[in-house]
Amino acid sequence: MPEHDLETLLAEAVHVANNYPAVANGVDDSLHEYLRYAVLRLLEGDADQRSPAVDVTVGYGRDAAMADNWRSTVPWWDEMPVQEDCTRFRVFYPDDVAHIPRAVGDVMSALGAWRVWSGDAVDIGTYEYQSRREVHYCWPLGHPVEDRLDERLERDTQAVATDGGCAGDVRAREAVSDQAQTGGLEARTQRAIDEEMDVSLLAKGGQYEVRSASGSIYDVDIIAETCTCPDYQKREPDGGCKHLRRVDHEIKHGRVPRPDGRLPV
């Protein structure tokens, strides 16, 4: 793995932590979130460090959540079992490109992810799949590259502030009073906000993953206003189930990417 590729990845992850900290709000593994969002920015050309040679689109989510939804439809898990506590990246590129774009391999190698599937793009999720191929990579939570990022962030936060003190941790700059943000909300929405849940973008187009404190995982489509939870499936509660309400709240407060995959500036 070329050291400059790792440096490029870490530099972009630091940029994400400093400028888009909301991507990791509400999750325990903020380093993992910064790195996988950095991968998306590098490969889609949103980062200054790299301009993609071909049109690449990146999607990602927990491998187990994807398997729960799509295992009966696609053969992705036939040769390799579900990887618990792993992110699965879906990387799309034009089918007239003979090989997987080199930039994709470079970034995934720097990340420490391994290739698990490739083939014609599948009409699952909300991505453009016609005349495209996709390649999948898995990357585990707690990978050593997260430690490298943690060291980089710790080093940066030890810089002496102008008043002689130490600069604050970039991962805590977005902390605000829950009371200030949730005042005046109706009871059901308030309960949805108070309940312990982790929300992350599963796919562009409004697909979100919600992980409850009990370990249950549900998929929310904020555009179609649907959820895979039992409450929604049974009765489609007026105003949406608690998972829809929570995703809506997280988006409005800039804590997760918007449905188009981008974060508010």
Q: Is 138 inside any structural domain?
A: yes
Q: Is 156 inside any structural domain?
A: no
Q: Are residues 182 and 82 in the same domain?
A: no
Q: Are residues 189 and 82 in the same domain?
A: no
Q: Are residues 190 and 64 in the same domain?
A: no
Q: Is 157 inside any structural domain?
A: no
Q: Are residues 184 and 139 in the same domain?
A: no
Q: Is 155 inside any structural domain?
A: no
Q: Are residues 106 and 191 in the same domain?
A: no
Q: Does residue 1 carry a pLDDT above 70?
A: no
β-pairing verdict for 217-221 and 226-227: antiparallel
Q: Is 209 inside any structural domain?
A: yes
Q: Are residues 47 and 128 in the same domain?
A: yes
Exposure string (b/e) for 51-66, b if CB count within 10 Å is 16 or more?
Answer: ebeeebbbbbbbbbbb
Handedness of CA 23, 178, 252, 222 (dihedral sign): positive
Q: Is 153 inside any structural domain?
A: no
Mean pLDDT of 125-145: 92
Among 127, 146, 165, the domain-final residue is: 146
Q: Are residues 93 and 191 in the same domain?
A: no
DSSP 8-state symbol, 170: G
Q: Are residues 35 and 140 in the same domain?
A: yes
Q: Per-residue confidence at 242, pLDDT binned at 50, 70, 90?
A: confident
Q: Are residues 214 and 262 in the same domain?
A: yes
Q: Per-residue confidence at 167, pLDDT binned at 50, 70, 90?
A: very low
Q: Are residues 81 and 211 in the same domain?
A: no
Q: Is 43 inside any structural domain?
A: yes
Q: Does residue 161 carry a pLDDT above 50?
A: no
pLDDT for the residue 156: 76
**Could you tell me what percentage of the chain is helix, strand and coil, using 3-state DSSP and rounding each to the nearest 5?**
40, 20, 40
Residue 247 burial (CB count, 10 A): 28
Q: Are residues 76 and 114 in the same domain?
A: yes
Print the domain residue range for 189.
Answer: 176-265
Q: Is 167 inside any structural domain?
A: no
Domains held by the chain: number = 2
Q: Are residues 141 and 192 in the same domain?
A: no
β-pairing verdict for 217-221 and 86-94: unpaired
